[in-house]
Structure 1
Amino acid sequence: MIAALRGAGNASDPASGRRVSAKVAVCVVFVAANFMAIMDTTIVNVALPALGRDFGMDGSELSSVNVGYLVAMAVFIPVSGWLSSRFGTRRTALTALLLFTVASGLCATAGSLAALTGYRVLQGVGGGLLAPVGMTMMLRAFPVAERLRAQKYVMVPTAVAPALGPVLGGWLVDTASWHWVFLVNLPAGALALLFGLRTLPDFPGTGAPRFDALGFVLAGGGLAAVLYALTRGPDRGWGSGQILVPLVGGAVLLALTAVWELHTRHPMIDLRIVEDQLFRTTQLALLPMGAAFMGVLYLYPQFLQTGLGYDALRSGLATFPEALGMLTASQLVERLHDRVGPRRLMVGGGAGAAVIVLYLATAASGAPPVTLYPSMYLLGCSVGLLFASGQNAAFVTVPASRTADATTVLNMQRQIAAAFGVALAGTLAGAGTGSGAAGDYRAGLLTMAGVSLCACLFALRVSDRRVHEGYRADATQTARGESVPMRRAADP
């Protein structure tokens, strides 16, 4: 399929290809594609009861719909860098977008749980490729000095999609049917694909070496097993053999992956990228913050529904202020970055998140509900400060030729962090009284506050000096005309 797009650039209208700048084209396609991929991790949740009625299944059996999607994403994240180097970023991105869109249409036609799970796996393959290759294109299209401006757009799917999923999904299921939670992807996917075919530039790879089959098996199998265990652990119990075996086995496979990739001549994932001190320290802060944020987003709607009596749609709307807060933070970071420095912004964001989640934990014991809306907004602002500053700083000193490796590693840790946060939150909440009272979620929220504080402490190690040195080095390269090779959609 990727090879079929090899000549797609020649099919574009040269005039139209030059009317849209490379930066705009990359932004539009990446934001649209990433928005759909992220939203699909949450929009389907509210459709599960309707799916159960149609297929005659209970909740435990329906979990394969989401687990299949998440596991497929995890398996194919590691291979995205190799595909980009082998076929170029443009063909890889467009193929992943096409696969995701077609699979969405197939999901809507599914007549059985087995068929729906299979189509969701196809969706996960496309989604797993989209995020890393899209981020690689963004980093290579924008010089270091302009990336904070681009962050305003990159943050849109990260901020809005998880919160919009339950709201949109609930509305679609109530007013139409569960099929529409998948059909909604078709017009967006088709438009993004057509736009990308005509305008998306290509960043040719350096020529991928032989495919690292063993690395793919180890990394993909390890990620899939660990993610499966983390996703199902809270429901089935951590002492169950169905959870312990994949959890331990997956951890062993990931350890073997690290050993193999560090010693093989042509690694699929060049883990030596973590030798970059700035990249490594920012990842150490982003990982716990991602876990805490997803853990809170998992617990908070349940607290609203079981503790305060909200319905699904109202709890989704009450969660949405965090998206507005993250968007606000993406605007603030660009203005404050040079004056305050990324380290202080990240530390402030982590500390603010810890304090707010701590307040939410006390809210589970009786704080006024009216205070929850501004609390979620401020939580979004705090998390957004750390995410936007950290993601920008992570790639400042990463050479353009290694952005694919860096984005692959970042997206792998993001998947594991999200799964770990939800698993930890779900386990702690389930260990409560089980009465459905709001206090059942207090332990989970207190723990998420502690995890947020860990992100704050790791952020203290981020070096503002290295960030500014990276900016100066990039400015020097730009002045010398040492830009990243790029082909427009209309170029041969």
Structure 2
Amino acid sequence: MWRQPKTVWSVAFACVIAFMGIGLVDPILKPIADDLGASASQVSLLFTSYMAVMGVAMLVTGWVSSRTGAKRTLILGLVVIIIGAGLAGAQDSVGGIVAFRAVWGLGNALFIATALATIVSAARGSVGQAIILYEAALGVGIATGPLLGGWLGGHSWRWPFWGVSALMAIALVAILTTLPATPPSGRRSSISAPLKALSHRGLLTVGITALLYNFGFFTLLAFTPFPLAMGAHEVGLIFFGWGLLLAFTSVVVAPRLQRRFGTLPGVVGALVGFALILAAMAIGTEHKPVLVIGVVLAGAFLGINNTLITETVMKVSPVERGVASAAYSFVRFGGGAIAPWLAGKLGERSIHVPFWVGSGAVLLGVAVLLTARREIMAVDGAHAHDTPEEERPLEAAAVTVGDA
């Protein structure tokens, strides 16, 4: 799995930087609020605008990529991220940051969706192995993002935005120089294809589950820095530990759990474990050690969920992978965009409530997932039919984004 062509490694490197952008913002949420006189709910809109635009954009990434080719779509996404992140750091109001964070979300949708399609198609080995490689890049990016954000944010909350812009410029050079030309595929994807794919029960169920799970995920990500009330360095180190554990379990633990217990028990166990951690954080919100331990341990369950859910989306429906995962991402990100804002709004009333709501939403997601247990359990039967990816054509379409 680790002996891959140069193309795969250059795209994976760019993915690492792209995923840095998720956790990079965490350590500077409170500094932005303090410096610009904003509330927790206002600052959480940095996530909401990012997620909403990304979710809607997932409907058109396949349409764009099938007409321009994977390489051009990757380059376009990187350029948009460079512009969005760079200008976000130059703003003097929360509204301005939120607006350019939305631009950043558009670029991320174009880049990350096409990046996984490229990795899956160009990597040696099975679909599952390619996904693990992708999740490794995701984990490294999410782990190092908060650390870099805390270090740069210690100087100014603007620096992390400019840091992402600079790193993405390096990734752009890597893609330009190592990725061969990828002309448009013969099949052109329609914008309505992802919406039609949602008629498949298994795919829609997984999407709604992820939407509900996002309420817990963004309570952890977007709201926890406020009750922690620590500096950018400290918050960055805490979420660095979270990201490390997420990376380890997504690459090492998740495949083993899947082989031993199956996909459905693995996802259900991960979500229930995450819900229990959020409940513990709701009870002990006023105690910082409880929050710190909860954040770090949550990474273990999130890593397992990320890998298993990603592979499930790739295999649960009969439609093309790109179309299926674009539909899934649209439901998950578009519908879940309210989660960061809601967590901040609830937190202004009581610091305990967001964690309770997040825990309840994750458990509701488990209940929804179990309604399609027959379709989810069928995913495990697909492992026997995995074939080396070099035998498959490039699917220049949107694919799932793990938990970006």
What displacement does 1:394 show?
A: 1.3
| 2:324 alignment partner, SS class | helix
Partner of residue 304 from structure 1, selected from 199, 223, 228: 228
Partner of residue 249 from structure 2, selected from 329, 340, 353: 329
The residue aligned with 2:237 is: 317
| 1:364 alignment partner, SS class | coil
Q: Does 1:396 align with 2:315?
A: yes
What displacement does 1:418 show?
A: 4.1
| Aligned 8 A contact 1:101 1:190 in 2 | yes
What letter corresponds to residue 271 of structure 1 in structure 2? Answer: L
Partner of residue 413 from structure 1, selected from 308, 331, 345: 331
Structure with more relative contact order (C-alpha pairs < 8 Å, separation 6 or more):
2
| 1:376 alignment partner, SS class | helix
The residue aligned with 1:223 is: none
What displacement does 1:378 show?
A: 2.2
- Distance 1:388-1:458 versus aligned 2 partners, 3 A rule: farther
| Aligned 8 A contact 1:96 1:126 in 2 | yes
Partner of residue 183 from structure 1, selected from 157, 162, 165: 162
What displacement does 1:312 show?
A: 4.8
Using the alignment, how far apart are the partners of 2:163 and 2:107 within structure 1?
Answer: 16
What displacement does 1:451 show?
A: 1.3
CA offsets per residue over residues 252-280 of structure 1, 9 Å max, x none?
A: xxxxxxxxxxxxxx544432223444433
CA offsets per residue over residues 62-118 of structure 1, 9 Å max, x none?
A: 869936655544553322111011111111011210232244444555688887676
What letter corresponds to residue 32 of structure 2 in structure 1? Answer: L
Mean CA deviation greater in 452-461 or 200-209: 200-209
- Distance 1:206-1:454 versus aligned 2 partners, 3 A rule: farther
- Distance 1:148-1:462 versus aligned 2 partners, 3 A rule: farther
CA offsets per residue over residues 399-434 of structure 1, 9 Å max, x none?
A: 6x8333223223323323543322332333333xxx
- Distance 1:360-1:110 versus aligned 2 partners, 3 A rule: closer
The residue aligned with 2:119 is: 138
CA offsets per residue over residues 176-216 of structure 1, 9 Å max, x none?
A: x444223212431122111111222537433437xxxxxxx
The residue aligned with 1:292 is: 216
Partner of residue 88 from structure 1, selected from 69, 77, 82: 69
Q: Which runs of 5+ in 1 are unaligned?
A: 1-18, 53-57, 210-265, 432-439, 488-492
Mean CA deviation greater in 108-117 or 421-430: 108-117
| Aligned 8 A contact 1:295 1:418 in 2 | no
For residues 313-462 of structure 1, what are the structure 2 equivalents within 5 Å? 313-330=233-250, 331-364=252-285, 369-397=288-316, 402-431=320-349, 440-460=350-370, 461-462=372-373
Partner of residue 483 from structure 1, selected from 366, 381, 392: 392
Using the alignment, how far apart are the partners of 2:218 and 2:379 within structure 1?
Answer: 28
Q: Does 1:147 align with 2:71?
A: no
What letter corresponds to residue 484 of structure 1 in structure 2? Answer: P
What displacement does 1:388 show?
A: 1.6
| Aligned 8 A contact 2:151 2:233 in 1 | yes
The residue aligned with 2:78 is: 97
- Distance 1:407-1:51 versus aligned 2 partners, 3 A rule: farther
| Aligned 8 A contact 1:76 1:129 in 2 | yes
Using the alignment, how far apart are the partners of 2:73 and 2:316 within structure 1?
Answer: 25
Q: Does 1:467 align with 2:379?
A: yes
| 1:484 alignment partner, SS class | coil
What letter corresponds to residue 328 of structure 1 in structure 2? Answer: F
- Distance 1:188-1:339 versus aligned 2 partners, 3 A rule: same
Using the alignment, how far apart are the partners of 2:172 and 2:83 within structure 1?
Answer: 11
What letter corresponds to residue 383 of structure 1 in structure 2? Answer: L
CA offsets per residue over residues 361-411 of structure 1, 9 Å max, x none?
A: 121366xx4454333222211222222211111102556x83332232233
- Distance 1:485-1:78 versus aligned 2 partners, 3 A rule: closer
What letter corresponds to residue 155 of structure 1 in structure 2? Answer: L
- Distance 1:169-1:339 versus aligned 2 partners, 3 A rule: closer
What displacement does 1:349 show?
A: 0.5
| Aligned 8 A contact 1:64 1:117 in 2 | no
| 2:185 alignment partner, SS class | coil
Using the alignment, how far apart are the partners of 1:298 and 1:112 within structure 2?
Answer: 18
Using the alignment, how far apart are the partners of 1:147 and 1:473 within structure 2?
Answer: 15
| Aligned 8 A contact 1:82 1:208 in 2 | yes
Task: Specify the structure having the higher radius of gyration (Cα).
Answer: 1
| Aligned 8 A contact 2:139 2:244 in 1 | no
% same residue? 22
| Aligned 8 A contact 1:76 1:125 in 2 | yes
CA offsets per residue over residues 26-79 of structure 1, 9 Å max, x none?
A: 32233333433x346546635535863xxxxx5379869936655544553322
Q: Which runs of 5+ in 2 are unaligned?
A: 397-404
Using the alignment, how far apart are the partners of 1:186 and 1:362 within structure 2?
Answer: 39
What letter corresponds to residue 346 of structure 1 in structure 2? Answer: V
CA offsets per residue over residues 301-326 of structure 1, 9 Å max, x none?
A: 22222xxxx44543443344322331
| Aligned 8 A contact 1:204 1:486 in 2 | no
The residue aligned with 2:10 is: 25
- Distance 1:286-1:341 versus aligned 2 partners, 3 A rule: same
Using the alignment, how far apart are the partners of 1:385 and 1:323 within structure 2?
Answer: 12
What letter corresponds to residue 82 of structure 1 in structure 2? Answer: W
| Aligned 8 A contact 1:47 1:181 in 2 | no
| Aligned 8 A contact 1:148 1:334 in 2 | no
Using the alignment, how far apart are the partners of 1:62 and 1:468 within structure 2?
Answer: 43
The residue aligned with 1:226 is: none
| 2:186 alignment partner, SS class | coil
Relative to the length of structure 2, the TM-score reads 0.80
What displacement does 1:348 show?
A: 0.7
